Amino acid sequence: MKEQFQETKKLILFEEKVGDKKVVYRQHKEDEEKEFVKIYEQKGKDYFFDYDGQTIKQIELRDFEEIPYLFSSFGYGFSDNTVNSFFRYQFDDKRINKIIISEEIESKKVRKTLFLNLNDLSALISSTNQEQRACNDTKKILIKNFLVDIFPEIAFDYKETNNNKKLILRNLNQKLIDQLTADDIEKIGDFYVDASKKYKRADLVKRMTFGLQKNAQILTLQEIIAKYESLLKENPPESSWQKFFDEYITLFDTRYAHKINYKNIATGITKYPDLVLVDIYGYIDFYELKKSSTPLIQYDSSHKTWYWTKDVSMVIAQATDYLQKSKENAISYTKAIKEETETESEEGIDVNIINPRVIIVAGSTKELNTTKKLNHFKNLRESLKDIEFVLYDELLERLKNLLDKIKIK
């Protein structure tokens, strides 16, 4: 049985209990036939709205105490007319038929469903509201760019927008700085350098470029450190650490100029280092990465001493094998790397395989909780030839020290 529970100037709202669900309807006062139009079904904290888009037919609000302000509680879709119009009429990808909005789930595409994080959606609507005096085409561009950033597989062209000068200058404040990433700083720096050339101020360009480079370094290292600390807490598999080092090592260790995709090089071996890096002088280093929780040493009660665990012994043996094979096949390796890295416009990389090193990253100082353990580990580590053993939290301290040095400069 439908019961009235709300009335507006033009509408009367009714609700009906159906099992464990509540169904809400609207009725237009001017409708002579008094037709009930279903707005949504509610089950617990989830709301299910029918949507009359060209392809999107349902919008689900997941885990909300009440309907968020970004969405119409009367069944008309998104509260922002531009966003609503876009998803209703412009979004014609037939592979998408449903939207789920949530505060917890990250924005992503799963089969025929788009998951939109409420904060992402709120940021989108804020950006369109800033352009309220601009033409509707500009707003549509912002929405398309938002979708391209989060769902690159959707076929929309990314376009730059031309915001007015007053809007840009109004937003050049501390609040904006706090939100900028290293890439943002670099982009602004490039723009500034180009703009400064208009007035032939070489001294100003040089000074500002140096400042921008320093800020970009600081922001980059801060991002890297934050991700590194997050990984340390998660204790992920070795593949996650390999991905992290592959993406960031040339940013936080400026000794290295190149990464080599060793698996593409015909060296005749089947076991590869996790990373192969070339320093600024052309010398090669190999990296082997284990988990940050890898046990390092164990106690020999009969000799009252400590020795490497099985996992560490195996990775040291593997490192020794890399060093041996690279020395034995130095000429063929050098030639293969040069050929593999050659492009149409550039020659391949010349590398020097003379006394190469292997850097093993594994374990942490948490295990070395006594002076005796620490001293035995130090002796074991220093006994390795051409192998550098680095603990994960030691590397974190190196990153933090590097950040401090840049800030001081």
Identify the pLDDT of residue 251: 78
Classify 370 as helix, strand or coil: coil
What pTM was estimated for this model as a whole?
A: 0.52
Identify the pLDDT of residue 165: 62
Residue 356 has pLDDT above 60, yes or no: yes
Identify the pLDDT of residue 197: 67
Of 295, 313, 311, 326, the closest CA to residue 380 belongs to: 313
Euclidean distance between CA atoms 215 and 181, whole angstroms:
10
Identify the pLDDT of residue 295: 94
The two three-digit tokens of residue 328, written as one number? 């034995």
Identify the pLDDT of residue 258: 87
Identify the pLDDT of residue 313: 95
Residue 151 to residues 106, 154, 181, Cα–Cα distance (Å): 12, 6, 21
How many CB atoms are closer than 10 A to CB 161?
A: 13
Q: Are 87 and 77 in contact (CB under 8 A)?
A: yes
Q: Which range in 206-215, 231-240, 266-275 is most confidently predicted, on average pLDDT?
A: 231-240
Of the given ranges (72-86, 119-133, 283-297), which has the lowest mean pLDDT? 119-133
Identify the pLDDT of residue 115: 94
Identify the pLDDT of residue 288: 93
Mean pLDDT of 248-268: 76
The set of residues, in sequence order, having a beta carbon less than 8 Å from that of 252 and lying 6+ positions away, is: 220, 221, 224, 399, 402
Q: Model confidence at 61, in pLDDT bands (50, 70, 90)?
A: very high
Average model confidence (pLDDT) across the chain: 85
Per cent of the chain over pLDDT 70 is 86
Q: Which residue has the higher pLDDT, 271 or 104?
A: 104
Euclidean distance between CA atoms 99 and 49, whole angstroms:
10
Identify the pLDDT of residue 134: 55
Question: At which residue do the structure tokens 């099985």 appear?
Answer: 310
Q: Which residue has the higher pLDDT, 211 or 34?
A: 34
Domains of the chain, residue spans? 45-161, 174-225, 237-393
Classify 343 as helix, strand or coil: coil
Question: At which residue do the structure tokens 């009335």 appear?
Answer: 7
Q: Which range in 135-144, 145-154, 167-176, 266-275 is most confidently predicted, on average pLDDT?
A: 145-154
Taking only Cα atoms into account, the Rg of the chain, rounded to an integer number of angstroms, comes to 30
- The rounded Cα 277 to chain-centroid distance in angstroms is 23
Phi, psi of 343 (to 5 degrees): -125, 180
Residue 136 has pLDDT above 70, yes or no: no
Q: What's the start-to-end Cα distance of the chain, in Å?
A: 74
Residue 186 to residues 107, 137, 180, 246, Cα–Cα distance (Å): 26, 28, 10, 21
Mean pLDDT of 131-145: 70
For residues 168-192, b (16+ Cβ closer than 10 Å) or e, as one string? eeeeeeeeeeeeeebeebbebbeeb
Identify the pLDDT of residue 144: 82
Q: Are 212 and 189 in contact (CB under 8 A)?
A: yes
Euclidean distance between CA atoms 58 and 96, whole angstroms:
10
Residue 209 to residues 182, 398, 402, Cα–Cα distance (Å): 14, 26, 20
Residue 7 has pLDDT above 80, yes or no: yes
Identify the pLDDT of residue 93: 66
Residue 161 has pLDDT above 70, yes or no: no
Q: Show the CA angle centred on residue 296, arms to residues 291 and 299, nearest 5°.
A: 150
21-28 and 275-279: which strand pairing? unpaired
Identify the pLDDT of residue 248: 87
275-279 and 283-289: which strand pairing? antiparallel
The two three-digit tokens of residue 154, written as one number? 């959707």
